[in-house]
Structure 1
Amino acid sequence: MARVRFVGPDPVTVPELGERLVQPDEIVEVPDERFDGYVCQPTNWESVEEPKPKDEAAPAAPLLKSAAKPRKEG
Structure 2
Amino acid sequence: MARVRYLGPEPVAVPELGPDRVVQPDEVVEVPDARFEGYVCQSANWEPVEEPGVKAAAKKTVAAKPQKEEG
TM range (shorter): 0.7 to 0.9
SS state at 2:5 partner: strand
- Structure 2's unaligned 5+ residue stretches are 58-71
SS state at 1:3 partner: strand
Amino acid at match of 1:6: Y
Structure with greater helix percent: 2
Root-mean-square deviation (CA, aligned residues, Å) is: 1.7
1:42 aligns with 2:43: yes
Question: What TM-score, normalized to structure 2?
Answer: 0.72
Tell me how many residue pairs correspond in the alignment: 55
Q: Which stretches of structure 1, 4 residues or longer, exceed 2 Å deviation after superposition?
A: none
Larger Rg: 1
Tell me the percent identity: 71
Question: What TM-score, normalized to structure 1?
Answer: 0.69
